[in-house]
Amino acid sequence: MSRAPIPSLVLTLFALLLFATAAPAANQPSIEILRSSDNTVSRSVLSGSSYEGSLDLTGFHLRLSPTEGPVIVRTSGYDSYSLAPDAAVVQAAALYQGVLIVAGRFSPVASTRSSNIVGWDGERWVSIGRFGTNGPVFALTVFEHNLIVAGDFATAGNDLVNHIAAWDGQYFSPLSQGLQGPVFSLAVHRHRLIAAGLNGLGRAYGTGQSGVIAWNGSKWLFDGMEIQGIVREVATSGDQLSVTGQFFGFPIGRPDTTLYFDGAAWSTSTGTHAVMPR
């Protein structure tokens, strides 16, 4: 007997709840590397950092002060997360071109006009793409000298991008047609950008159902990575890719399942080649 399809809205809401408890991504320095003695982020700290890429927010919350900039506050568990529609939530942070980029779900800060994503140069807030995005941002990373912005939005700046876009410091640009569902996490693996999120997010590119897809700089492809499920976290460790979430074929109610991809197949442990459900 075939199962009735689960409504996409239900899957999206469920995945958002899982995303709130996402594990820290590998190979990301903590946001604490930017914290000054007064818990703010100064221009001298930003200019003194040679790192460019995403930052791990685990254990900290960013309070967006109109005058002081991002204030880095220690937190734990769910202290910084709320489903209230008017709650300002920071979900991701990255260093890009000497600017701290923070993103999540929030209204424009101070005199900027960009919603859900904004920059701090150490002295003032700066708009990203003038108007930011029209929905929440869940993940940031740097790929091929661009800041990659992903989440549950249709537009970035004034452009239709569909859940993921590249920012070059001045303008947003789409990655092909974008993706067909929310993107919860990003990683770079074997010189490709990996996007992970709701099942079927890449259905316009040849596979109907998969929670993972790769961008090679010019097009979206799967390369054997198709895996059915809701992926809330993707990370790299050495040459191996790992995803965490809830996958079809595994017991329901286990959001902490982690699978590993070695370039040929998914498995439940590192160093094996057991093909998992697709």
Mind listing the pLDDT tens digit for each residue in 233-278? 999 987 889 999 988 865 555 667 899 998 888 888 765 544 444 5
Residue 274 forms part of a structural domain: no
Residue 154 has pLDDT above 70, yes or no: yes
Residue 211, in any domain of the structure: yes
Q: Residue 134: which of 169, 98, 170, 172 has the closest Cα?
A: 172
Residue 163: half-sphere exposure toward Cβ, Cα within 13 Å? 18
Any domain includes 41: yes
User: What's the average model confidence in pLDDT over 25-49?
Assistant: 89
Question: Is the Cβ–Cβ distance between 74 and 92 less than 8 Å?
Answer: no
On whether residue 277 sits in a domain, the answer given is no
Contact 167, 126 (CB under 8 A): no
List, for residues 194-219, the tens digit of each pLDDT value.
Answer: 999 999 999 999 877 899 999 999 99
Domain interval for residue 122: 8-267
Using alpha carbons, select from 141, 137, 126 the residue that is nearest to residue 56: 141
In the chain, the percentage of residues whose pLDDT exceeds 70 is 80
What's 42's domain CATH number?
A: 2.130.10
pLDDT value of position 28: 86
Q: Give the pLDDT confidence score for residue 251 in this predicted structure.
A: 56
| pLDDT band, very low/low/confident/very high, at 3 (cuts 50, 70, 90) | very low
Supply the mean pLDDT for the chain: 85
Write down the pLDDT at residue 22.
41
Select the highest-mean-pLDDT range: 74-78, 186-190, 262-266. Answer: 186-190
pLDDT given at position 24: 42
pLDDT of residue 262: 85
Average pLDDT of span 40-58 = 94
In which band, very low, low, confident or very high, does the pLDDT at 120 lie, cut at 50, 70 and 90?
Answer: very high
More confident residue, 179 or 250: 179
Answer yes or no: is 198 within a domain.
Answer: yes
pLDDT at 18: 43
pLDDT at 265: 86
17 within some domain? yes
Would you say residue 91 has pLDDT above 70?
yes
Q: Sign of the CA dihedral 50, 52, 56, 59?
A: positive
Tell me how many domains the chain contains: 1
Alpha-helical segments (H) within the chain: 8-19, 43-47
The span from the CA of 221 to the CA of 206, in Å, is: 8
pLDDT for res 6: 39
Burial class from Cβ neighbours inside 10 Å (0-12, 13-18, 19+) for residue 1 reads exposed
- Whether 1 maps to a domain, the answer reads no
* Max intra-chain CA distance, the chain: 63
Q: Are 204 and 181 in contact (CB under 8 A)?
A: no
The answer to whether residue 32 scores a pLDDT higher than 90 is yes
What is the predicted pLDDT for the residue at 247? 86
Q: With respect to residue 275, please indicate whether it lies within any of the assigned structural domains.
A: no
Strands 89-96 and 69-74: unpaired
